[in-house]
Structure 1
Amino acid sequence: MAPIKVFTAPTPNAHKIVAALEELGLEYEVQPVAIFQGEQFSDEYKKVNPTGRIPAIIDEDGPGGEPITVCETGAILLYLVQKTGKLLPTDPRKRCEALQWLFAVVTGIAISVREFAHYTMFAAEMCADPYPTQRYVGETERVLAVLEEHLKDGKEYIAGGEFSIVDIAMYVWVAAMIQRRGKIQSSKTGEEYVNITAWAQKLARNHPSFDKAVAACEPPPP
């Protein structure tokens, strides 16, 4: 079986796909994309993903044994679940809970955290209007507070009582915030999100796939 080609860059979205491939034991081949040089908008890469977004995968052994290209992290994660039958609960109720959280992460939480980082770290001096920063700082605070409450009482996993693509999808963003800020805490009160921190630390200890994903997505040396 040919390895799955995964188009990557050093970003949380790419990390989550490589981590999932590691967890599933699927062979993969990293195809670095130089996003800071704009390679994702090249004609060549747009043949893979017309929207010019990272990551994307090409599976030569797709449905029916035919090649398939899959883009968007939520779709890729679900494709890998469908391919292997792993990393998502099989019980209908637990599966529904997991899917709700997955879509909450990829369509809401991840976007808020990403834009929070953009406006506070990369665009702070370029954007004179305080509204975007206030908007995404506030929304990030709101969604992290929801997750903090959800993970109370020592809950090990976000949904379904088992490790799944939901934990992978959320962990990479939490890890990125911890890496940049030292810990994950409220920007308003300065208080640490202790439940999120405990959840993330346990995942990091028990799942070396995350560190492997970060290493695999590092750009090649010049």
Structure 2
Amino acid sequence: MPDLSAFPITARWPAANPDVIQLYSYPTPNGVKVSIALEELGLEYEPHRVTLADEDVKSDAFLSLNPNNKIPAIIDPNGPDGAPLGLFESGAILIYLAEKTGKLMGKTASDKARTIQWVMFQMGGVGPMFGQLGYFTKFAGAEIEDPRPRERFINEAKRLLAVLEKEMTGKDWIIGEFSIADIAIVPWLNGLEFYGVLETVGWADHPNLVAWHKRFYARPAVETGKNIPPRT
């Protein structure tokens, strides 16, 4: 049985089954990327609910695994070098899990490169820009009277959606087959509804994205993974 005692996080969130991947997460767009990937890949894992409250993500226990105090994070008791591996950053985790299993990165080296390209597109563009859009429309930033910050992120969200709409022309999945790139991006498209900005960004004017979203959430593994760990 793997010894996870070197990871202080396991004192606060104990592993009932230390033989399987330990997932520390919450069902946000970034969080569900990993639970969906684990479900799609058929990997055994144990989820631990880490809320976004400071007492969780800024606790010494969580910071010991992710010094950047953001979910998700994992411990793989069967790391690539024969020892447990702790890992944070959702995009890095997706790539790690795909490489570990040899799945969800396409069939060729070119497929893999394009998969990582679109994962990085989400990490560097869709996630940060949509997150700021949410802040300035739904959360504290909505109280700011100056319209320029809000307009900036509305316009940037529209631009990114246009990039994706064009890319998805004639495709079911963004690299041509289902991959971690779809898992990275589509939960953030789903977040537009949570932020209440579907009409603001003209979501209905993107038929390729509407169809992609519907196709993605029709997958059984996605249906399961989108609620892990449960909010309450």
Provide Cα deviations, 1:117-162, integer angstroms capped at 9, x if missing partner: 1211012443233222111111111000110111123x10011x21
- The match for 1:156 is 172
Aligned residue in 2 for 1:11: 28
Residue 208 of structure 1 deviates from its aligned partner by: 1.7
Deviation at residue 190 of structure 1 after TM alignment? 7.0
Change over 3 Å in CA distance of 1:15–1:188 after alignment to 2: closer
Q: 1:137 to 1:91 in 2, by over 3 A?
A: same
Deviation, structure 1 residue 82: 1.5
Please report the RMSD computed on the Cα atoms of aligned residues, expressed in angstroms.
1.9
Map 1:101-180 → 2, pairs under 5 A: 101-153=118-170, 155-159=171-175, 161-178=176-193
Which amino acid letter does the alignment assign opposite residue 20 of structure 2?
P
> Using a 3 Å threshold, how does the CA distance of structure 1 residues 191 and 219 change in structure 2: closer, same or farther?
closer
Q: Are the counterparts in 2 of residues 8 and 55 from structure 1 also a CA contact under 8 Å?
A: yes
> Structure 2: which amino acid aligns with 1:193?
H
Long gaps (5+) in structure 2: 2-18
Q: Do the aligned partners of residues 174 and 128 (structure 1) sit closer, same or farther apart at CA in structure 2, a change above 3 Å counting?
A: same
Superposition misfits of 4+ residues, deviation over 3 angstroms: 178-181, 188-191
Q: Deviations over 1:97-124 (max 9, x none)?
A: 2221111111111111111112110124
Say whether the 8 Å CA contact 2:32–2:187 is kept in structure 1. Answer: yes
Cα shift at 1:79: 0.7
Aligned mate of 1:69, from 86, 93, 100 = 86
Structure 1: gaps (5+ residues): none
Amino-acid identity (%): 35
Question: 1:13–1:73: 8 Å Cα contact kept in structure 2?
Answer: yes
Residue 134 to residue 68, structure 1, CA distance change in 2 (3 Å):
same
**Structure 1 residues 60 and 98 mapped into 2: Cα distance closer, same or farther (>3 Å)?**
same
1:81-103 CA-to-partner distances (Å, cap 9, x unmatched) read 12111000131222222221111
For the 8 Å contact 1:174–1:184, the answer to whether it is kept is no
The equivalent residue for 1:81 is 98
Q: Give the TM-score normalised by the residue count of structure 1.
A: 0.89
How far apart, in 1, do the equivalents of 2:93 and 2:202 lie? 37
CA distance in 2, matches of 1:188, 1:179: 13
Corresponding position of 2:116: 99
> Is the contact between residue 134 and residue 195 of structure 2 (CA under 8 Å) also seen in structure 1?
no
User: Partner letter of residue 103 of structure 2?
Assistant: K
1:5 Cα deviation from its structure 2 partner: 0.6
- Where 2:81 maps in the other structure, the secondary structure is helix
Query: How many angstroms apart in 2 are the aligned matches of 1:190 and 1:18?
Result: 26
| 8 A contact 1:184–1:193 mirrored in 2 | no
* 1:195 paired to 2:208: yes
Deviations 1:8-58 (A, max 9, x none): 112110101000000000011111112135410111110111110110000
CA distance in 1, matches of 2:216, 2:160: 20
Count residues in correspondence. 215
